[in-house]
């Protein structure tokens, strides 16, 4: 069985297809998100070239678990939460276009939930939140659970960890107990900046901005703090202890605060923190974060040790594992333990504010 997963990253879309198991990779590609936005048909053709039996499609903020053939215009709008009057990052239009085309091609596949839609997260942790971790964070956490199970020789339902994803755009952290996601701090509520994104925004700042573009959510991160614009990750890493030191301290402490927040409400002490994402692959950044977590919080932190893709990154590996499990393959137990099939509702279901009219808001969102 060929199982294919897609990672709709801020900078790149990664596509990974495995046949039966992780030691047989059929397709392993990464494509700029701008290319996906401009030529989505080429990306879909690439997916089809692998002849997958099942595909986990890009699901943005997260959708209730359903077949790709069942998604409608409302689902496409909920995927990216982008107003019709706005135009944000290329990744957003790329996600919608790719989902639409996969549906039109009758590809056998499904959508995935964000953390807030999982039944394993207690409802009291969901109120007045939307982003507890987008669908790709569900994928990367599945990858972390799989990796801990292999490294420590424990069953999926015996894993206990905090997964931190340090992506090009956003940071996020997810808590796992008994192999289930029980809490999450998504990129837009993360208590510190991501690489490009501002993370948690001061409510007073949001008020003074008087309504702002989706693009604003991709600004204000450590790259912007350090240089006033976007800068290549490797260039930023070269100045961690000199010109960019203050910005980097802000980044590291933000990760630490997110881990501490999650650990405070977990019933079990996490065995470790697993660091994933684009920035975790930069040794100086990874080691600084791991050192802080060990020194301040007493948590060991590491990168996943089991890497089976050469080009596609961590989210795509998790998505491929989930696709395999959903198709009845070797990793079915992993997927069943995560309870992905039981995900219901939308990411907007738990907001309790006067004037927040869900159907009206959805009607104002872009689906094309």
pLDDT digits (tens, 9 = 90+) for 158-210: 999 999 999 999 999 999 999 999 999 999 999 999 999 999 999 999 999 99
Q: Are 18 and 79 in contact (CB under 8 A)?
A: no
Task: Decide the pairing of beta strands 12-19 and 2-8.
Answer: antiparallel
Distance separating the N- and C-terminal Cα atoms of the chain:
32
Six token digits for residue 308: 């089976």
Note down the domain range covering 224: 2-363
Instruction: Identify the band that residue 368 occupies on the pLDDT scale cut at 50, 70 and 90.
Output: confident
Three-state SS for 167?
A: coil
Confidence tier at 35 by pLDDT (50, 70, 90): confident
113-172: per-residue pLDDT in tens? 999 999 999 999 999 999 999 999 999 999 999 999 999 999 999 999 999 999 999 999
Give 227's strand partners.
none
322-339 pLDDT, tens digit per residue, is: 999 999 999 999 999 999
Please tell me the predicted confidence (pLDDT) of residue 119: 98
What is the pLDDT, as a whole number, of residue 48? Answer: 96
pLDDT confidence tier of residue 42, bands split at 50, 70 and 90: confident
User: Is 368 a member of any domain?
Assistant: no
Residue 35 lies in a domain: yes
User: With DSSP H G I counted as helix, E B as strand and the rest as coil, what are the percentages for the chain, rounded to 5?
Assistant: 45, 15, 40
What domain count does the chain have?
Answer: 1
Output the domain CATH number for residue 171.
Answer: 3.30.420.40
pLDDT digits (tens, 9 = 90+) for 55-84: 999 999 999 999 999 999 999 999 999 998
Spatial contact of 196 and 223, defined as CB atoms under 8 Å apart: yes
């Amino acid at each position: 069985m060929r199982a294919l997963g897609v990672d709709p990253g801020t900078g790149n879309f990664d596509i990974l297809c495995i046949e039966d198991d992780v030691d047989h990779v059929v397709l392993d590609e990464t494509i700029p998100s701008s290319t996906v936005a401009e030529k989505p048909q080429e990306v879909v053709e690439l997916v089809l070239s692998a002849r997958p039996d099942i595909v986990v499609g890009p699901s943005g903020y997260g959708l209730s678990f359903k077949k790709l053939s069942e998604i409608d215009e409302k689902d496409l709008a909920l995927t990216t939460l982008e107003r019709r009057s706005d135009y944000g990052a290329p990744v957003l239009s790329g996600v919608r276009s790719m989902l639409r085309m996969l549906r039109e091609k009758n590809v056998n596949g499904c959508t995935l939930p964000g953390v807030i839609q999982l039944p394993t997260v207690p409802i009291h942790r969901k109120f007045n939140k939307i982003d507890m971790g987008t669908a790709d964070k569900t994928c990367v956490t599945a990858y972390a659970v799989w990796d801990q199970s292999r490294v420590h020789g424990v069953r999926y339902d015996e894993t206990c960890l905090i997964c931190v994803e340090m992506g090009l755009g956003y940071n996020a952290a997810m808590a796992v107990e008994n192999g289930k996601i029980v809490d999450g701090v998504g990129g837009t509520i993360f208590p510190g900046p991501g690489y490009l994104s501002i993370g948690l925004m001061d409510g007073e700042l949001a008020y003074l901005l008087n309504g702002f573009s989706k693009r604003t959510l991709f600004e204000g991160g450590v790259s912007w703090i350090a240089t006033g614009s976007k800068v290549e990750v490797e260039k930023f890493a070269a100045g961690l202890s000199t010109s960019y030191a203050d910005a980097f301290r802000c980044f590291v402490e933000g990760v630490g605060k997110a881990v501490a927040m999650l650990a405070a409400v977990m019933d079990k002490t996490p065995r470790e923190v697993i660091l994933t994402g684009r920035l975790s692959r930069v040794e100086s950044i990874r080691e600084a974060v791991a050192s802080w977590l060990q020194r301040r919080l007493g948590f060991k932190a590491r990168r996943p040790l089991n890497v089976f893709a050469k080009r596609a990154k961590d989210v795509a590996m998790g998505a491929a594992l989930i696709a395999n499990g959903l198709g009845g393959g070797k990793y079915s137990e992993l997927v069943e333990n995560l309870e992905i099939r039981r995900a219901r509702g939308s990411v907007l279901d738990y907001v309790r504010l006067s004037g927040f009219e869900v159907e009206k808001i959805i009607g104002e969102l872009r689906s094309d």
